[in-house]
Amino acid sequence: MYREIMVNSQIEMRGVTNPAVLAAMRKVERDKLVPDEEQPAAYADTPLPIGHGQTISQPFIVAYMTELLNPGPAQRILEIGTGSGYQAAVLAEIVREVYTVEIIPALAERAKTNLDAMGYRNIHFRTGDGGLGWPEEAPFDGIIVTAAARVIPEQLLMQLKPGACMVIPLGSCYSVQSLNVVIREDQGFKMKETIGVRFVPLTGVTQ
């Protein structure tokens, strides 16, 4: 019931229409991925703290970014910034395989424990610097970066299949960032700016 209200009032109302995305948002148990002290706000229209100075994103932003990625059932998707594991679970409802990288070991371990307990078998976890991507599993049908980058890591661009896209917030963590879609074309890349967002910074050697 909480998820139905969340999708109707926060996500559809703001214009997300992709049926696969809406179904995933209705299904994934966000309450199982937020800390105990945040339980009353598990389905609220807001990001929430998950410890270590990090956050689980606002449900609308998760839905909007997933819609921008336009994932399909046969695809393999790379996520940078596992955090709570919520975005990975939403993707895992839609695509064949999700590869997710988190730089803070304690968050990576907690997300894996929770998502394993929730029954997800198509999510692959790595602890490390996601700015470097996951070269052994590349190329990907899409990449989603859930932390704000100052510059687009070149390693991630190179791990996109031709025709595939990357959704990435760009800008400083001290101001509103712009959410961008980068499409790999036969020759070069095309970039499209969408809405303003606020994310914690992407850290690591590429930044």
- Name the residues that contact ligand SAM, by CB under 6 A: 54-57, 80-81, 83-84, 86-87, 101-104, 107, 129-131, 146-147, 199-200, 202-204
Token reading at 180: 């961008």
Q: Of all helices (H) and strands (E), which one includes residue 144?
A: strand 140-145
Has 57 been annotated as catalytic? Answer: yes
122, 96 in Cβ contact below 8 A?
yes
* Smaller CB separation from ligand SAM, 164 or 169: 169
Rounded distance, CA 117 to CA 200, Å? 27
Answer yes or no: are the C-beta atoms of 63 and 16 closer than 8 Å: yes
Active-site option among 9, 57, 172, 178: 57
Nearer to ligand SAM by Cβ, of 107 and 182: the residue is 107
Cβ burial 120-139 (10 Å sphere, 16+ → b, else e): beebbbbbebbbbbbeeebb
Q: Look up residue 82 and give its two tokens.
A: 């596992």
How far apart (Å, rounded) are the C-alpha atoms in residues 148 and 198? Answer: 8
Alpha helices in the chain (DSSP H): 2-6, 19-27, 59-69, 86-92, 105-117, 154-158
Q: Rounded to the nearest whole angstrom, what is the least distance from the CB of residue 68 to ligand SAM in the complex?
A: 14
Task: Please say which residue, 24 or 107, places its beta carbon nearer to ligand SAM.
Answer: 107
Tokens of 46: 């807001």
| Nearer Cβ to ligand SAM (18/57) | 57
Residues forming the active site: 57
